Chain A
């Protein structure tokens, strides 16, 4: 499915995994930003990725716990970056250029690069 077809936000987009152009996992569609107003056509403007995006989807006290554990960072992936929506969302760029993979790259520095076959 291309990004510009009609789409069912909850059953076909929300909470799907995201892969970048190198087929690396770089997050989940945690929330969606829409353009348009009431009575007008709504378009998917951007995908919101990161624990900060949970704020609109859970109760206040739950988000407080999430923020304490994982922080509230959020990356905004413009809809134009999406090439395909199927069982995963595929992006046309690398994760780093979209502000994704930051924590993965930080954690990578802690992992020794030895010993694995």
Chain B
């Protein structure tokens, strides 16, 4: 294990963990329910670590990315349904990230939102064209580390640490009305969805193959998924905790995505504000790239095209056209004027519905000794994998009724 590679991998995972959905739901969850939903982020992160580790291991040993094995395991018809569902949910997520980027640039520069959306997509496409895979991932991941300002900010405002720590224990707060209870349940589902977005494991497993992972990289994979994702989730939890202390008591929801940056401005002034906005910008930009490439991976792998940014764009032409098309479609959605918060709601809703079908073939393949040999799931991965599969299936079933009954968490 190369220590430099490992450190870079962890740092990239930390900086790349948070996206616009987690930013939005962490701030709202903290304001509405105090520290009581920290455990949902922690639970989702453990699930992400479990499935991430499995998808990285499958990439390293079976040398198959997720969508190849999905079609092989589910068959053509069910595989097509999963592909279409995942393409739609990831496209909506990509549009939310692009819209989020435009908003953040709007806060930083004051320039018109729609113009900034076009500029954002142009810059993203340029980086995806010019840079090879490793540098695409590293650039946005490392720049996203500016989000650490949120972790420092929560320490600076001296939260009640005992209460904060108590939030890691699964709970239902006492004294909630029926409506609030439904809202609380909706937030659990939304947080799990935002943390466990299917595009993350598609991107991670395809990335493992792009980087030529083999058996020697299994420990790197395991450490990146546990330490990297764990530390990354602390950034989201910091946003929740600051919101609980700063926003909840003064009736702030928040409804405007830019309000979250105030969590760093209140203790640190303009420097904190700028670091927060830039950190959010790069984290969201990284997520825009990941969602876009994830869709291109999915289509290419499902139909057996050449794929990957380890190749030059003209060496994998249909893959290249696919990511260009996804990015332009995402831009088109943003240009219709639909607001970013609505896109986030839809992204989270569609993603949780697709999640069980996305993770089932991964579980089956990671358990299969004919592909994985001595690296097939042992008892811990098997037990945790099936446990989280049951959890995401339950969340998928509950998602639409809860969304309708709570008007998307708004009451």
- Do chains A and B make direct contact within the complex (CB under 8 angstroms)? yes
A59 to chain B, nearest CB (A): 8
A: number of interface residues (CB 8 Å): 30
Q: A5-45 toward B: CB 8 Å interface, digit per residue (1/0)?
A: 00000100011111000001111101000000000000000
Residue of B nearest to A66 (CB): B80
**B121: Cβ under 8 A from any A Cβ:** no
Whether B131 pairs with A117 at a CB distance below 8 angstroms is: yes
**B76: Cβ under 8 A from any A Cβ:** yes
A84 to chain B, nearest CB (A): 13
Whether A57 pairs with B68 at a CB distance below 8 angstroms is: no
- Specify the main secondary structure of chain B where it touches its partner: helix
Whether B79 pairs with A15 at a CB distance below 8 angstroms is: yes
Whether B130 pairs with A116 at a CB distance below 8 angstroms is: yes
Most buried by B among A14, A25, A30, A115: A25
B325 to chain A, nearest CB (A): 12
**B57: Cβ under 8 A from any A Cβ:** no
What residues of chain A lie closer than 8 Å to B302, measured between beta carbons?
28
**A68: Cβ under 8 A from any B Cβ:** no
Q: B61-84 toward A: CB 8 Å interface, digit per residue (1/0)?
A: 011100010011001110100000
Question: With contacts A87-B64, A113-B314 known, is A25 near B131, CB below 8 A?
Answer: no
Whether A117 pairs with B132 at a CB distance below 8 angstroms is: yes
* From B131, B303, B312, contact of A28 by CB (8 A): B303
* From A62, A107, A116, contact of B129 by CB (8 A): A116
Interface residues of A in 84-117 (CB under 8 A from B): 87-88, 103-104, 107-108, 110-113, 115-117
Q: Give me 8 other A-B pairs in contact (C-beta within 8 A), A30-B76, A111-B317 excluded.
A: A14-B72, A54-B76, A87-B64, A107-B317, A111-B314, A111-B320, A111-B321, A116-B130
Q: Can you spell out 20 A-B residue pairs with CB atoms less than 8 angstroms apart?
A: A10-B75, A15-B79, A16-B72, A17-B301, A18-B304, A25-B306, A27-B303, A57-B76, A57-B77, A87-B62, A103-B318, A107-B317, A108-B317, A110-B321, A111-B313, A111-B320, A112-B314, A116-B312, A116-B313, A117-B131
**Residues in B lying within 8 Å of A, measured CB to CB:** 62-64, 68, 71-72, 75-77, 79, 129-132, 135, 300-307, 312-314, 317-318, 320-321, 371
